[in-house]
Amino acid sequence: MEQTDKEKIASLERSLFYESQYKSAIISEAICHYEANLSKDFIENEIFYKSEQGTIVSTTKLLGMSAPCKFSDFIKNWINKAIDPDYASKYEIFSNTKDFLLKSYSEGKRDHIIEYWYTNEKGKEFFLNQRFLLTKNEDGDICALAVLNNTTHAKKIEAQQHRNELERHAYFDPITGGYNYIKFKKELISANVRGSIISIDIHAFKLINTTFGTGIGDKVIKAIWDRIEEVFDFPKGDFAAHINADNFIAFCPTEDQNEIITKIKSISYSLNLISAELSLPQVKLYYGISMWCPEKTIDLSYSEAVTAKNNAKKLQDADYAFFEKKDMDRLVWEENIIENFENALAQNEFHVWYQPKYNPENREIIGAEALVRWIKDGKIFVSPGEFIPLFENNGLIRSFDQYIFRKVCMQQKKWQSEGRKIIPVSVNLSRISLYYKDITSIYSHIAESAEIEKKYVPIEITETAAVKDKRFKEITDAFVSAGFILHMDDFGSGYSSLSALNSIRFSAWKLDKSLIDSIGNYSGERLLHHIILLAKELGIQVTAEGVETAEQNNFLSETGCESIQGYYYSKPVDISNFEKLMI
């Protein structure tokens, strides 16, 4: 039997209604009472029907009930109650009902969905979903069937899921699934109890990543986190976080050192399992511990723990250390150095000193290395061995390196303008500065601005930097292409690989002092002999640094070393004394 139009519409109503995610009962009151419904604490799903003539009735009207109202009046009330004017503008299109229906129907747009927030007179918010479906009745009139669904509950669930997702990204680590440092600090502040902060990191983690890949590195991090979770009692007030890379932090609400040591040893004992599970060499952790109280900043306490951990790395028989007062004195001293940096640049307190390089055959100066002395109030303020690592750790080394390079270039130009003999003066470039964006163009610009040929300012790069990063070849090739000469500093300090040496375009190797100190030992001398021989065959110049005795000088000279630098000939000197040596 063919369905009547009413039956079709009723069937359509049911199908539309049951598409709704939340199937509350259809209210039986007429649409003219719709406003009263909106003032309730809960809006139920409502289905209503609107004809082309502009009359709107509830679905119950189709079942024989009365009480219709004009659609235009209904829309007017709706718009007036809209909280956001943007929502109101969306409904103005319905004010001319006939035009809207005819236009939409003729364009084939039979289905319209609009969502909006509504606040009733009691201030309760609802999220409503309204769907219009255009059809024709038995008289051929275009009609609209609309389903109004209260999706507030679904919207709140969606909003909560969104908040949960934001919180996961903001407070939880993607590798471990546990707290990150931000969440750790929030929890510690909330706990408001005294205790111990523990800094933890993985020994030689960069080597693990380089050798086995970052995927294995992530598995190591997760495995260590799992051990931390097992050892630290989170329900009883312990908590921890993965900060970044191989750095972890933990908190225990105790200042008992023995209790902390017990937890540390429990983690360390399980490291053999991690190594076995991942088929890795022995994984080792270092720990630093600092006491914390609510009156103290967490960042300061963590910094203290890191300092203690770094001290532990210097020990031969321990993998942990507690922060002590002398460590605090060191931190204060380091902070003073950092704070003085900008002023030192402005006041030209960093002075370039020169250590000559000699030809051992005729004892002629054939080059020099630019070294730095921080001179304040007429005396050396602090040694380079102390302030340069600080600058590297605090992001100051880039501007420092460029400052020194610029001074060397300008001094070379000054000597050239004075008609003096110009010899190459090599300048150190730190491993950290090497990877800054546009480093090659920056150094090229400095040399070109000083109007000095780049061959007179060779760049010294440590052996460690040369073999630790795949990008190194690309960067060094750029320097060579720009006209710079590269020297490998500290050659033989323990990291070189023949493949790296073969692929990187160094013009000179500077033999590390540890190799020079082996002179007098048969094996050491044989090794030196073959290194120098290999360099000659490759067309690479060799400079021996740290030469202090006649025995060392004579051996190197006889072996064919072309350049010697060290106290045997001259210690580093300031500009005026270097100029005297050059006469």
Is the per-residue pLDDT at 164 higher than 60?
yes
Same domain, 375 and 249: no
Q: Of 106, 123, 157, which residue constitutes the final position of a domain?
A: 157
Same domain, 476 and 506: yes
Predicted confidence at residue 330, as pLDDT, reads 81
pLDDT band of residue 380 (cuts 50, 70, 90) is confident
Same domain, 480 and 521: yes
> Does any domain span residue 256?
yes
> Does any domain span residue 293?
yes
The arithmetic mean of pLDDT across residues 553-577, rounded, is: 96
Predicted confidence at residue 462, as pLDDT, reads 82
Is the per-residue pLDDT at 84 higher than 70?
no
Is the per-residue pLDDT at 337 higher than 80?
yes
Is the per-residue pLDDT at 10 higher than 70?
no
Predicted confidence at residue 135, as pLDDT, reads 66
> Does any domain span residue 166?
no
The arithmetic mean of pLDDT across residues 347-352, rounded, is: 94
Predicted confidence at residue 331, as pLDDT, reads 78
Q: How far is CA 554 from CA 265, 285, 290, 492, in A?
A: 52, 45, 52, 20
Q: Of 157, 180, 213, which residue constitutes the final position of a domain?
A: 157
Contacts of 315 (CB under 8 A, 6+ apart): 321
Same domain, 308 and 350: no
Predicted confidence at residue 53, as pLDDT, reads 42
> Does any domain span residue 339?
no
Say which CATH number the domain at 178 has: 3.30.70.270
Is the per-residue pLDDT at 60 higher than 70?
no
Is the per-residue pLDDT at 149 higher than 90?
no
- Locate 453 and state its tokens: 């040929």
Rg of the chain in Å (alpha carbons): 39
Burial (CB < 10 A; 0-12, 13-18, 19+), residue 17, is: middle
pLDDT band of residue 301 (cuts 50, 70, 90) is very high
Predicted confidence at residue 299, as pLDDT, reads 93
The arithmetic mean of pLDDT across residues 42-68, rounded, is: 38
Same domain, 359 and 412: yes
pLDDT band of residue 21 (cuts 50, 70, 90) is very low
Is the per-residue pLDDT at 39 higher than 70?
no
CA-CA distance, 376 to 319, in Å (whole number)?
A: 38
Of 133-147, 279-293, 373-387, 400-414, the one with minimum mean pLDDT is 133-147
Predicted confidence at residue 133, as pLDDT, reads 67
Predicted confidence at residue 40, as pLDDT, reads 42
479 vs 97 pLDDT, higher one: 479
Asked if 369 contacts 313 with a C-beta cutoff of 8 angstroms, the reply is no
* Residue 503, domain extent: 346-582
Say which CATH number the domain at 85 has: 3.30.450
Same domain, 572 and 427: yes
Tally of structural domains, the chain:
3
- Locate 400 and state its tokens: 């420092």
200 vs 204 pLDDT, higher one: 200
Average pLDDT for the chain: 80
Predicted confidence at residue 494, as pLDDT, reads 59
Same domain, 525 and 383: yes
The helix (run of H) or strand (run of E) holding residue 511 is strand 508-511
The arithmetic mean of pLDDT across residues 84-100, rounded, is: 41
Predicted confidence at residue 495, as pLDDT, reads 53
Convert the pLDDT of each residue in 122-134 to its tens digit: 777 778 776 666 6
Bridge-based pairing of strands 247-252 and 486-491 is unpaired
Predicted confidence at residue 76, as pLDDT, reads 42
Look at the alpha carbons of 20, 22, 25, 31 in this order and tell me if their dihedral is positive or negative. Answer: negative
Q: How far is CA 475 from CA 213, 435, 437, 499, 538, in A?
A: 22, 8, 10, 17, 21
> Does any domain span residue 204?
yes
How wide is the angle at C-alpha 342 spanned by C-alphas 341 and 344, nearest 5°? 65
Same domain, 425 and 561: yes
503 vs 286 pLDDT, higher one: 286
Same domain, 352 and 287: no
Is the per-residue pLDDT at 68 higher than 60?
no
Predicted confidence at residue 104, as pLDDT, reads 72
Of 52-61, 273-282, 323-332, the one with minimum mean pLDDT is 52-61
Q: How far is CA 315 from CA 247, 286, 303, 320, 561, in A?
A: 20, 11, 19, 9, 37
Highest mean pLDDT range out of 205-209, 466-470, 491-495? 205-209
CA-CA distance, 195 to 101, in Å (whole number)?
A: 71
Predicted confidence at residue 292, as pLDDT, reads 95
Asked if 405 contacts 395 with a C-beta cutoff of 8 angstroms, the reply is no
Is the per-residue pLDDT at 473 higher than 90?
no
Is the per-residue pLDDT at 478 higher than 70?
yes
pLDDT band of residue 17 (cuts 50, 70, 90) is very low
The arithmetic mean of pLDDT across residues 460-465, rounded, is: 78
Q: Could you give the percent of the chain with pLDDT greater than 70?
A: 76
Predicted confidence at residue 226, as pLDDT, reads 96
Same domain, 146 and 178: no
Is the per-residue pLDDT at 107 higher than 60?
yes
Predicted confidence at residue 341, as pLDDT, reads 92
> Does any domain span residue 341?
no
Q: How far is CA 56 from CA 36, 48, 49, 164, 181, in A?
A: 16, 7, 6, 42, 58
265 vs 112 pLDDT, higher one: 265
Is the per-residue pLDDT at 114 higher than 80?
no
Is the per-residue pLDDT at 309 higher than 90?
yes
Same domain, 305 and 382: no
The helix (run of H) or strand (run of E) holding residue 207 is helix 205-212
> Does any domain span residue 164?
no
How many residues does this entry show for the chain?
583
Q: How far is CA 125 from CA 130, 152, 383, 513, 579, in A?
A: 16, 8, 67, 76, 83
Of 91-95, 327-331, 396-400, 478-482, the one with minimum mean pLDDT is 91-95
Convert the pLDDT of each residue in 417-453 to its tens digit: 999 999 999 999 998 888 788 899 999 999 999 999 9
Convert the pLDDT of each residue in 207-246 to its tens digit: 888 788 899 999 999 999 999 999 999 989 999 999 999 9
- Map residue 316 onto helix, strand or coil: coil
> Does any domain span residue 253?
yes
| Short-list 572, 555, 458, CA closest to 510 | 458
Is the per-residue pLDDT at 411 higher than 90?
yes
| Short-list 467, 458, 465, 382, CA closest to 430 | 465
Q: How far is CA 79 from CA 76, 91, 92, 218, 306, in A?
A: 5, 7, 8, 55, 61
Q: Of 157, 183, 217, which residue constitutes the final position of a domain?
A: 157
Same domain, 352 and 491: yes
